[in-house]
Structure 1
C-alpha cells in the first residue's frame, strides 16, 4: 500500500496543494488574489520553455526512428491502429461531454480582441501549419507550425544518415536537458498551483469546485466503460472469442501495475509478458510496447476531450458544431499521440489546447487540475491499450490465424 502511495506521491501532492489553495480561497475570498503572482510565476516558467521543449522532444524522437526501417510494415500498421483507437476514444468522450456538459456551472469572462480579421479556409490552414518567417516559430501562438517543423527536422535528420547523426545526438542531448529543466520547474508546481487556485476560488467561489466534481464523475465511468467494452471489441476484432478470452486472462497484470506505479513506462515489462502469453509475435510486441508507452495514449485522448469541453464551459464558449468537434478530435490525437511522449505531466498538451483555441494563460491551471485527478484511470487505459493494440497489429501482419501460429511455434 505504501509503495502504491509512493508511486502517486507527486500527483497526490499536487492534488493536496490544489485543495489547500481552494480552501484558502473559500476562507479569504477575493483577498486571496494577493498571492496570485506566485501562480503566475509558475505559468510563465512553463510558457518560457514550451517552445524548445516541443521542438527538441519531437524532432529527436523522430530522428531516432531510422533504426526501425526494417519494421516499416509493423510501424505503419501500429500508427494506423494508434490513430484509429485515439479517434474512437476522443469521440466516446465527446459524446459524454455533450450529454453531461462539464464546466457549465461557472462563467469566467473571456477577453477577445475587438478587431478580428476574417480569413478564408485556405488562409487559415496556411497560417495554422506554417509561418512566414523562421523567427515566428518561437512563439506559443504558432504551436502547430512548430510541431510541423519539428517533425520535418526529425525526418530530415534521419534521412541524412551518417552525416545527420551528430545533429541527431545534439537533438537528443537538448531534449534530455529540457526534460531535466521541466523536472526542476515542477518542484515549484505545488506552490504555483496552490496559489493560483486560492485566487481563482477566491474570485469565482464554489461553482468552480462543483464543476471539477462533475468532470471527475464524467471521466471515471467513461474510462472504465471504454476499458471494458472498447478493449473487448478490439480483442474480438483481433482474434474473435479466443482473442477476448486471452486478453482478459492476461490483462489484469498490466492494469494493476499501471494503477500501482502510475507509469506507462513502468508497465512495459509486464505488458511484454502479457503480450507473449497472448501470442503476439516477438518483433511486434517489442516494437509496440516501448513506443506505445510514449506515443499511444487512449486515456490521454479521453482526458484531453474532457479538458477541452471543460474549458469551453468555464469560459462560457459555444462547444457545438462539426468544425469545433473535428478540431477537438484533432487536438486530442496530438495530445494523446504526438505530445504524449514529451515530459511534464501533460502540461505541453494542455498548453497546446489553450493556445490553439486562443484561451488566456489563466486557463492552464484550470485544466491542469483535471489531469491530476483523472491520472490513475487514464494511465491504466493508456497502458492496457498497448496490449490490445499489439493484438490488432498481429492480426493485420500475421493473418487471422496468428494465435494458432504462435501456439504451434511454442510446441
Structure 2
C-alpha cells in the first residue's frame, strides 16, 4: 500500500475523491458546451474528447464500481441473515427483532413526512411558481397491499436472488436460517460453513472499500459534468427546503430518538457513519451501500451480527425516511403550484399513505416516484406535477439516501441495545473498525 494511503484514512480518501470529482465535473461543464465542443476559441478540441472523458472513462469506472458493490448485496444479505438467524437460540427473539425494527422504521418515516409537510406549509415553496410547459409524467401502477404481502414469499428463491428482490431474499434467508438452527449437528456444520463464508465476503467488502475513492471520483465527475444545474435555480426554494428538512430529521430526530431510547451519544453515531453516508451520497442507492452500512454497524458501532444482519438489510429495503420527506414537501409544492387547497384530512391522508407505502412499494423499480404518485392520487393532485421536480431530484436523491442509511444504523443500534446485543465499548471506541479499513497487500522489501 502506498504511503499516501497509509497517511490518510479511508474516510479522508473518499472525501478527497468526492471533492475532486465534483470539481472535475463542474469544470468540464463550464469548459464544454452542450455539443461537447470546447468553449474557448484559443484551444480547439474534438467533440470526442468530452465523450471519452465523461461517457467513456468516468462512466466505465463509475459503473464498474456500482456493479461491484451490487454484486455483493445478495450474497452478503443472504449469508449474513443465515448466520444471524441460525445463531438465535431463542426463536421468539426473531419475532421481537422483526417487531421492534418494523415499528421503529414506520415511526421514523411517519415523523419524517410530518416534519416535511409542516415545514412546507410554513415556507410555502410553490406559492407564486407558474408552470411554463406542459410537463407530463406517466406513473407506473403500484401493486396492492395484498399483492405486496404475497410477493414477499418467493416461489423460486434462486430467481429472487438473480433479480435482486430483497424482500424475497430476506424471507428465504430467515426461513433457511431457522431450519439450520433446528437441524442439530447437521445444522451446526452448515452454520460453521456460513460463518466462514461470511468472513470471506466481508474481506471482499473491505477490498472494494479501498477502491472506493476512485469510484466516487468517477461517479461525481460524470454527474456534475452532465447535470443541468440551471434547473436547481428554478426550483431553489423547494430544493433548499428538502435539504433543510433532511438535515433536521437526521441531526435532530435521529439524535433525540437514539439518546432517549439508548442513552448513546448521537455525535459518536454520526462520526462513525461518515463512510457509509459518503457511499450513499455517491451511489444514491441504499442497496448498493448495504455492504458498507453492514460493516459500519458491526465493526464500528458494535451491533452484533445476529441483529445487524436482520435490521440493516430490512432497513435498506423498507426504510424510506428521506423519500418520505421528499414526498411531503413535493405534495405541498405541487398543490401550491396548481393552486389546490388541501384540507387537514388531506394532509393526514398524505402522512398515512406515504408511511404505509414505505413498506408497500418496497422492491418496486422507481419506488420514490411511484410512492409520490400514490400520494398525489390519494389527495386528487395531478400526477403530472412530478415532472416539475424530476430535474432536481437526482441531487436530492443523493442526500436522502445518506439519511436513509443513517436511519438504518440508528435503528440497528436501538434494537441491539434493547436485546443486549450491542457492544457499548465498541460503540464508544473512536478507533473501532479502523483496522478493517485497510487491506495490506504484500510488498517487496526495500
- TM bucket normalised to smaller: 0.5 to 0.7
Q: Are 1:366 and 2:388 matched, yes or no?
A: yes
**1:218 Cα deviation after fit:** 0.8
Quote the residue 2:407 is aligned against: 385
Q: Give deviations 1:286-307, integer Å, cap 9, x for gaps.
A: 1111221121121111111111
Quote the residue 1:148 is aligned against: 145
Q: 1:403 aligns with which of 413, 420, 424?
A: 424
Change (3 A) 1:329 1:211: farther
Q: Is the 8 A contact 2:112 2:249 kept in 1?
A: yes
Quote the residue 2:363 is aligned against: 341
More helix by percentage = 1
Q: 1:76 aligns with which of 95, 99, 104?
A: 99
The number of aligned residues is 288
**1:329 Cα deviation after fit:** 0.7
Q: Matched residue of 2:125: which SS?
A: coil
RMSD after superposition: 4.2
Q: Is the 8 A contact 2:140 2:370 kept in 1?
A: no
Quote the residue 1:115 is aligned against: none
Task: Give matches, 1:50-89, under 5 Å.
Answer: 70=91, 71-89=94-112
Within 2, Cα distance between the matches of 1:80 and 1:89? Answer: 14
Quote the residue 1:297 is aligned against: 320
Change (3 A) 1:220 1:336: same
Q: Is the 8 A contact 1:297 1:385 kept in 2?
A: no
Change (3 A) 1:272 1:175: closer
**1:333 Cα deviation after fit:** 1.6
Q: Matched residue of 1:341: which SS?
A: coil
Within 2, Cα distance between the matches of 1:381 and 1:275? Answer: 15
Q: Give deviations 1:234-280, integer Å, cap 9, x for gaps.
A: 2212421x443531341222222222332222322222232222222
Q: Is the 8 A contact 1:107 1:316 kept in 2?
A: no
Within 1, Cα distance between the matches of 2:271 and 2:392? Answer: 32
Change (3 A) 1:266 1:106: same
Change (3 A) 1:266 1:236: same
**1:345 Cα deviation after fit:** 6.3
Within 1, Cα distance between the matches of 2:21 and 2:286? Answer: 12
Q: Is the 8 A contact 1:293 1:386 kept in 2?
A: yes
Q: 1:225 aligns with which of 244, 248, 251?
A: 248
Quote the residue 2:296 is aligned against: 274
Q: Is the 8 A contact 1:216 1:373 kept in 2?
A: no
Q: Is the 8 A contact 2:317 2:362 kept in 1?
A: yes
Q: 2:274 aligns with which of 241, 252, 260?
A: 252
**1:227 Cα deviation after fit:** 1.4
Within 1, Cα distance between the matches of 2:374 and 2:106? Answer: 19
Within 1, Cα distance between the matches of 2:266 and 2:338? Answer: 43
Change (3 A) 1:343 1:386: same
Quote the residue 2:374 is aligned against: 352
Q: Is the 8 A contact 2:283 2:398 kept in 1?
A: no
Quote the residue 2:10 is aligned against: none
Q: Give deviations 1:104-137, integer Å, cap 9, x for gaps.
A: 213569xxxxxxxxxxxxxxxxxxxxxxxxxxxx
Q: Are 1:94 and 2:129 matched, yes or no?
A: no
Change (3 A) 1:290 1:317: same
Change (3 A) 1:405 1:266: closer
Within 2, Cα distance between the matches of 1:141 and 1:259? Answer: 26
> TM-score, normalised on structure 1?
0.58
Q: Is the 8 A contact 1:297 1:381 kept in 2?
A: no
Within 1, Cα distance between the matches of 2:151 and 2:279? Answer: 33
Within 2, Cα distance between the matches of 1:246 and 1:389? Answer: 15
Q: Matched residue of 2:155: which SS?
A: helix
**1:326 Cα deviation after fit:** 1.2
> TM-score, normalised on structure 2?
0.54
Q: Matched residue of 2:287: which SS?
A: coil
